[in-house]
Amino acid sequence: ERIPVICIDGPTASGKGTVAAAVAQRLGYRFLDSGAMYRITALAALRAGLAIDATHESRIADMAKTLPVHFEGGRVLLGQDDVTEAIRTEEAGMNASRVSALPAVREALVDLQHSFRRLPGLVADGRDMGTVIFPGAPLKVYLTASAACRAERRYKQLISKGFSANIADLRADLEARDARDSSRSVAPLKPAQDALVLDNSDLTIDEAVEKVLAWWQERQ
């Protein structure tokens, strides 16, 4: 419990991942991308021929406990397969959202998430880092932005990688994913009671990073 943890939760495409990784780098802390675990679990389930629904909940949870995942030099490997790009598509995000609504799957990933809490400290990004996984964390940030702004950022990200995209479709998708994540019965997306809310619609990444670092400084 004495190892510091900064939780950064929030809706889809709010900038959490980028801000959390930058804060971790500035502090020399470890970084936990909990969303990647759900993305990988969903991909592994589909590749094993399992539909993502309650019928297969316990089998998917068993898979999640023993996922052959490796993070190597910025790549994500599932067994022998490099799934770095495959887990980043919009479809993979939606499948992750579906798999993450299964309580047994969430339970199966708890120990793995806790294992990232090591010295000198951790920055954890997700939906329930502050509410469920690290409830005693000394700093919890709920990072959000308007839906229009999040759709536009996602659009620019996809275009810059050479993908085609439609901004209205992206916005509809992210609103659907947030609705599912917020309404599920286990660990729904919501700010922790003691979270500091940061709307970064009108901030640059650097400004959001500085704000989080300033909050962290105040706590030392």
Residues found near ligand C5P in the complex (CB under 6 A): 12, 34-35, 38-39, 93, 96-97, 100, 126-129, 177, 181
C-alpha–C-alpha distance, residues 174 and 152, integer Å: 11
- Token representation of residue 25: 């780098």
Nearest CA to 98 out of 160, 165, 162, 180 is that of 180
Nearer to ligand C5P, 132 or 196 (CB): 132
Q: What phi and psi values does residue 142 have, to the nearest 5 degrees?
A: -105, 105
- Token representation of residue 55: 């019928």
- Token representation of residue 10: 């929030």
Nearer to ligand C5P, 127 or 211 (CB): 127
What single DSSP character describes residue 136?
T
Q: What angle do CA 80, 84, 87 make, to 5 degrees?
A: 105
Nearest CA to 7 out of 182, 131, 103 is that of 131
Q: Residue 8: helix, strand or coil by DSSP?
A: strand
C-alpha–C-alpha distance, residues 125 and 43, integer Å: 20
Nearer to ligand C5P, 92 or 217 (CB): 92
Closest distance of CB 143 from ligand C5P, Å: 11
Bind-site residues for ATP: 10-18
For ligand C5P, the nearest residue by Cβ is 35
Inter-residue contact 198 to 13 (CB < 8 Å): no
Nearer to ligand C5P, 181 or 214 (CB): 181
Closest distance of CB 218 from ligand C5P, Å: 25
Bind-site residues: 10-18
Closest distance of CB 57 from ligand C5P, Å: 15
Strands (E), 43-159: 69-72, 75-78, 81-82, 122-126, 139-144
Nearer to ligand C5P, 57 or 128 (CB): 128
